[in-house]
Amino acid sequence: MNIKEFEKKQKEANLASNTIRSYVFSLKQYQVQFHEVNKKNLRSYKIWLIENFKPKTVNLRLRAMNVYLESIGRSDLKLPFVRIQQKTFLENVISEADYTYFKTCLKKDKEMFCYFVIRFLAATGARVSELVQIKVEHIKIGHLDLYSKGGKLRRIYIPKKLQDEALDWFVNTEQVSGFIFLNKYGKQITTRGIAGLLKKLARKYGIDPAVVYPHSFRHRFAKSFLDRCNDIAFLADLMGHESIETTRIYLRKTSTEQRKIIDSIVNW
């Protein structure tokens, strides 16, 4: 089976276009180096991947090859995935101190749009794709209901303090309905647009841009929530996680927190 036939078969299986592109890319990458599909060549390809790419990328390429091997009836040649070592700490999460400093600076400089962006992300645990769906109407009732692909309901609560602040903001902006996070053209801002704004302002205020991105504030919500309410099952529901195991990462310290603890207690 050549690449064109394989691509056609994946389209007929209704795979996502991005997935098909990834599969085709991997096959072409393999064929540049090897002209035959056999155990020796597949092992060599895997070794080359491990030496040149991160484990996540390696597994994406191997998955593509395994799907291809299934298609040609050679499942016996399928390659095992490499193990991705999970870190024992959270990385690039904005600290509570930096979050407080950031929102203080934004409010002082009347950068209210970005102020409410980080306030809503850090106080609700919303994903940035969910943030842009928030309307004035949701603020008024204090929550936003979302449905997953499986039809599962997730409610994003808007804390009373944030609700009151936002309603005062709407009085000043004279907004009475509709989406609250808009671009300069009055349209819903994109998630990329939000990310760009946050990076720009982080640099302005001397905050490490590596910890200032939309998902970092969702992480901040989870960390702060567990510090104040040690109910991981409740947090999993609030975050919209399918499995509580996903939420357990927030029980870990950041590398900075780990360093601070080590420096303070290890004196031998």
- Please check whether residue 134 lies inside any domain of the structure: yes
pLDDT of residue 84: 67
Q: What is the CATH number of the domain that holds 215?
A: 1.10.443.10
Q: What's the mean pLDDT in 110-137?
A: 94
pLDDT of residue 116: 96
Same domain for 185 and 150:
yes
- Please check whether residue 30 lies inside any domain of the structure: yes
- For 35, the 3-state DSSP assignment is coil
Domain count, the chain: 2
pLDDT of residue 262: 75
In which band, very low, low, confident or very high, does the pLDDT at 184 lie, cut at 50, 70 and 90? Answer: confident
Q: What is the pLDDT of residues 249-261, one digit of tens each?
A: 787 777 777 777 7
pLDDT of residue 102: 96
Q: What's the mean pLDDT in 218-237?
A: 89
- For 49, the 3-state DSSP assignment is helix
- Please check whether residue 86 lies inside any domain of the structure: no
| 259, containing H or E segment | helix 255-265
Same domain for 206 and 125:
yes
Q: What is the pLDDT of residues 56-110, one digit of tens each?
A: 888 899 999 999 999 888 889 999 988 765 555 567 789 899 999 999 999 999 9
Q: What percentage of the chain has pLDDT greater than the value 70?
A: 95
- Please check whether residue 89 lies inside any domain of the structure: no
Task: Give the 3-state DSSP-derived string for the chain, with helices as H, strands as E and coil as C.
Answer: CCHHHHHHHHHHCCCCHHHHHHHHHHHHHHHHHCCCCCHHHHHHHHHHHHHHCCHHHHHHHHHHHHHHHHHCCCHHHCCCCCCCCCCCCECCCCCHHHHHHHHHHHHHCCCHHHHHHHHHHHHHCCCHHHHCCCEHHHHHHCEEEEECCCCCEEEEECCHHHHHHHHHHHHHHCCCCCECCECCCCCECCHHHHHHHHHHHHHHCCCCHHHCCHHHHHHHHHHHHHHHCCCHHHHHHHHCCCCHHHHHHHHCCEHHHHHHHHHHHCCC
Same domain for 244 and 171:
yes
Q: What is the pLDDT of residues 3-23, one digit of tens each?
A: 888 888 888 888 788 888 889
In which band, very low, low, confident or very high, does the pLDDT at 148 lie, cut at 50, 70 and 90? Answer: low
Domain that holds residue 24: 3-77
- Please check whether residue 87 lies inside any domain of the structure: no
DSSP 153: E
pLDDT of residue 229: 86
pTM: 0.65
Q: What is the pLDDT of residues 20-65, one digit of tens each?
A: 888 999 899 898 888 889 999 999 998 888 888 888 888 899 999 9
Considering the chain, what is the average pLDDT of its residues? 87
pLDDT of residue 89: 53
- Please check whether residue 31 lies inside any domain of the structure: yes
